[in-house]
Amino acid sequence: MEIPFASLGKPGDSVDVCVIGTGAAGLPIAARLAERGHRVVLCEGGDIEFSERSQSLYRGTVVGGAYVPLDTARLRYLGGSTNHWGGVCRPLDPYDFAAKPATAETRWPIEHSELVPYYGEAAQILDVLPIGPDSELPGSGLRRIHFSIGESVHTRTRYASTIRDSPRLAFCSAANLMGLETRDGRITSARFTNYEGGVRDVHARFYVLACGGIENSRLLLWSNRQSGGRLIRNADTLGRYWMDHPHASIGQALLFDPAPLGLDRAYDAFFAPTPHAMIARNILNCGLRLHTMGPEQNLALTEDLTSLSPSLKQRIQTMQASGVAPKGIILRAAWEQEPRRENRIELDDTRLDSLGMPRCRLSWGYSSLDVRTLRESVLMLGDYLRQTDIGRLKLADWLTQEPILPPDTGELVGRHHMGGTRMAASASQGIVDLDCRVFDQDNLYIGGSSVFPGCGHANPTLTIVQLAMRMADHLDARLLRQTIV
């Protein structure tokens, strides 16, 4: 049920869990816990619908490489950034949880198998169809992979009836988190303000911060500062190891025989390096995306290639004489970014938002490993095409130059905000433990992709929901244990 701000944290209210954020992590966690009989307060900083007064709080600055404006890369109202995602889903690969030879920083402290039990539930929540198994392209170092590309489920719609009807879930909009009080290693209250300057404190047994891959870091940095460093005693990694998935157009290809790639008439097909190839080439994961090309572009690409190669011209003419035209494809990539300390979220004390909190400053850029991962991956595909003689690949202009400088216009990134409060085996290596609990606080949990230590190349939403369901199970068990005691 929806409650007004004035009713938030009323004296005598007994709340089991306070969930902050209504996106892909927060709303599924809150709904699941309410379903299981726990009393939940769900707070959203934004309004029910898009509002400028809320969205403007997402403005920030970016230092380093070309990036998208921070207030357009995410949404701040009921449902969060699920209000504009594209519905593209794929779980992380098992190998994404490992310490890759290229950098051990990709290692998760949990195994892939920890998330497998939650795949079904997460897929159901997001209306994701099962994807087929990967299949290796023999001799290429690549495997054909699959995504589920469907309707983009908005959590506000998925959980509309829960928000409206659940007697155990109290939802409050325009409730902006301003700080977390801590005493003896436990959060004692969360302070919220609305846009009119009202202040309410919520007391709960557990708190879940699920405000997105940028705000989780920003809010913890701010709350930790206010607490004099008692919230997170070892904050060395807080805000750091931040990642996105770089996206770029990487070229085009002309296929004489699309069948070996498993392509039919119209398609979106995806390939990625095998774990063996990632090890052999010392690179990270990379999703190569092949798209159908229009007839005019196809013709231009064919003329381009035949102008350079008399032998291929003759071959293509022979094909065309028998009524078969080579098939042009557009190549894009979305790939894994190296987790690096230098890529980080900080508080910008020179710029305050309308609530008086320092805005976000993002330091972000590519590493040589980021560039090498892409280059090697596209070369694997290009070499496979010419060695098997099923086609030829043309690199994008920016990939033919030395040094390779990724484009500073175009797609740039997937707007997949990951890292900053990374999951780790110890407080010296990250912010949350294997259960996504903040190391220094017994009852504070972090939901969302900010806990990713490494990010693979797959869109993160499915993994976010898998982790959310896992956290809901964990909190449910803790609440039941406390009740029994």
Partner 1 sequence: MRHTLTRRALLRLIGLAGLGTLLTGTLAMRLPEGHSTRDTSKRDSNDERLVVSGWLLNTQDR
What is the contact surface with partner 1 in residues (CB under 8 A)? 49-50, 68, 72-73, 75, 81, 83-86, 88, 247, 249, 251-252, 280-281, 289, 291, 297, 300-301, 304-305, 308-309, 311-312, 330, 332, 334, 379, 382-383, 385-387, 389, 392-397, 399-401, 410-411, 413-416, 459
As given in the structure block, the two tokens for residue 12 are 């005598």
Written as one string, the DSSP assignment of 404-467 is ----SSSSEE----B-SS-B-SSTTT-SB-TTSBBTT-TTEEE-SGGG-S---SS-SHHHHHHH
Q: Can you tell me the distance from the alpha carbon of 190 to that of 181, in angstroms, rounded to the nearest whole number? A: 6
Instruction: State in angstroms the smallest separation of the CB of 344 from partner 1.
Output: 21
The amino acid present at 405, given as its one-letter code, is: L
Residue number with CB closer to partner 1 (200 or 416): 416
Residue number with CB closer to partner 1 (41 or 290): 290
Residue number with CB closer to partner 1 (21 or 246): 246
Instruction: State in angstroms the smallest separation of the CB of 287 from partner 1.
Output: 10
Contact (Cβ atoms closer than 8 angstroms) between residue 119 and residue 140: no
Residue number with CB closer to partner 1 (97 or 452): 452
Residue number with CB closer to partner 1 (358 or 460): 460
Instruction: State in angstroms the smallest separation of the CB of 145 from partner 1.
Output: 15
Among 15, 393, 45, smallest CA distance to 216 is for 45
Instruction: State in angstroms the smallest separation of the CB of 340 from partner 1.
Output: 21
Instruction: State in angstroms the smallest separation of the CB of 411 from partner 1.
Output: 6
Residue number with CB closer to partner 1 (156 or 478): 156
Residues 6+ apart with CB under 8 A from 241: 105, 339, 340, 341, 343, 344, 419, 420, 422, 453
Q: Quick one: CA dihedral 354, 200, 164, 214, positive or negative? A: positive
Instruction: State in angstroms the smallest separation of the CB of 297 from partner 1.
Output: 7
Among 52, 61, 51, smallest CA distance to 359 is for 61
Residue number with CB closer to partner 1 (300 or 319): 300
The amino acid present at 8, given as its one-letter code, is: L
Half-sphere exposure in the Cβ direction for 478 (13 Å, CA): 18
Instruction: State in angstroms the smallest separation of the CB of 152 from partner 1.
Output: 9
